[in-house]
Amino acid sequence: MRGEELVVNEALKVRALPEGSYDNLLEFLRLYRDAIQIIVDRIWGINEKLSKKKLHRLFYNDLVSMSFRAHHAKEIYINAKNLMESAKNNGGRKPVLRKLSARIDKYDYKLDLNNMTLTLKLHNDYEARLKLIASRERVEKFRSWSNYELVVKYEDGEFWVSIYFKRAVKPLEPRTVMAIDLNFGNVTLAIYTPDGRRLRLKKLNTPHKKILTHKIWIEKIQKRYPKSWRFIKNVRKAIERHGKRIKNISWDYAHRVGDLIAELALRYHSVVVLEDLEKLRENNKKSREFNKRLGLWFYRRIQFCIEYEAGERNLEVVKVNPRGTSSKCPRCGGKLVEYGYRVLRCRKCGFIGDRDVTATINIYKKYISKHSRCGVFGVAPNAPKPDEAPSGMRGKPG
C-alpha cells in the first residue's frame, strides 16, 4: 500500500450563466432526459446482467442518430442502467424522469478556470458557453487538479454545474497506526507504534440518543396516523422536521469527528485504519447492537467524513475486515465473553479488557499482519496491553 498513489476526489458545484440564448442547452437537457427514459423503459424488463458492451450494441446507433455525440451516448446508456439498477435494488417502481440533468464526459466540455467559462458540446454540434459564478478562492485549489466528468442541471430557472476533480497524491509515510472502532454510542480511536505501544486513546460519544429521540417521534406520529400520514400536510411536515434534525445532527457530528480524527492522525503521522462496513453486513458482527433504528448509514456518514478529511491531509486510509474484532482475544485468539458493562474477558487466558479498546487492538493487529514488511512496519508487533483503560473511561455510558 505504502508508496502507492492515493486519489482524492472532489466536486466543485457552481451556478452557471449561459452567454446568449440557452435554447439549445435546454433542448439538449430535454433530449438527454428523454433518451435515458427510453432506455430505462426498454431495459426494465430485461433481467440478465447488461454489460457495457451489450448496452453499446443495443443503443449506440440509435443515440447517435438522435444527434448525440459518441460520449454522450455512452453516458446516457450507463446512466440509464445505473438508474434501473438502483430502482430495482430499492424494490421500487420503474423510474420516471422529470428533472433536467445531464452527465457529461470530459471529452465533451472545455473548462477555462482563468476566465471562469465552460463550453459544453451539445447535440447536433451545438455548443453552449457558460459563465461560472464562483469566487476565485473557491476555484483556486482545483487548478492543479484534473477534471473528469461534470453534471449540468436546470432547476427553478437556474443552471448549475458540478465539475468533478481528482488529484493523485503521494500519501505521507506512516509512522504510527490509528485504529478506529465505530460503535453505537461512541467512536474509539487508539494510536499504536509499529511495535504495538499505545500512544493515544480517545473515546468520543456519539449523539445516538438525540437521533433516537427524533426517530421515536417519527414512529409515534406514523403510528398515530398509520395510513394517512403521507397525505396530511401538517403531519408530513412534522415528520420532515424530525428527519431534518436527524440529518443535521448526524452530519454535524460526522464532520466534527472526521476533522478531529484527521488532525490527530496528521500529528502522529498515522495510517488510519477503519473497519470495512461492507463486510460488516456480511459478518453480521454488531447486529445485536445494530438496533434497526440506527443503522449502517450513521457509520457510513462518519467514515465518509474521516476518509475525506484524511484525504485532504494526504493521509492513507485502510479498511480491514471487522470479523472478530470484538469477539476474539487479542492475546491468545480465544473467544471473549462479556464481563460486565462493555468489558470482555477471555476464557482461555484470563485477559480482561474494555470492549472498544480491545476492538482497536484487533483492528491494529489486522492492519499490521497484512501491511508489515521491511521498513518502519517490519517489526513483529507485541500485543499491546489492553487492560490499561484510561481512568474515568470505563463504565461511562456511550
Per CB under 5 A, residues contacting Zn ion are 329, 331-332, 334, 346, 348-349, 351
For residue 324, the minimal CB distance to Zn ion (Å) is 13
For residue 394, the minimal CB distance to Zn ion (Å) is 19
Residue number, 203 or 331, with CB nearest to Zn ion: 331
Closest CA to 32 of 120, 118, 108, 101: 101
CB-based burial, 128-162: b 16+ in 10 Å, e otherwise: bbbebeeeeeebeebeebebebbbbbbeeeebbbe
For residue 347, the minimal CB distance to Zn ion (Å) is 8
Which residue type does 126 have? Y
Which residues are CB-contacts of 2 (< 8 A; sequence separation ≥ 6)? 171, 173, 174, 316, 371, 375
Retrieve residue 142's grid coordinates. Answer: 482545483
CB-based burial, 250-278: b 16+ in 10 Å, e otherwise: beebbbebbbbbbebbbebebbbbbbbbe
Q: State the DSSP code for 376.
A: G
**CA 291 vs CA 90, 126, 185, 295: distances in Å:** 21, 54, 12, 7
For residue 346, the minimal CB distance to Zn ion (Å) is 3
Beta bridge partners of residue 102, listed in sequence order:
152
CA–CA distance, 226 with 219 (Å, rounded to integer)? 10
Residue number, 236 or 345, with CB nearest to Zn ion: 345
Residue number, 58 or 352, with CB nearest to Zn ion: 352
Residue number, 270 or 358, with CB nearest to Zn ion: 358
Residue number, 14 or 329, with CB nearest to Zn ion: 329
For residue 350, the minimal CB distance to Zn ion (Å) is 7
CA–CA distance, 8 with 20 (Å, rounded to integer)? 35
For residue 343, the minimal CB distance to Zn ion (Å) is 14
Residue number, 70 or 349, with CB nearest to Zn ion: 349
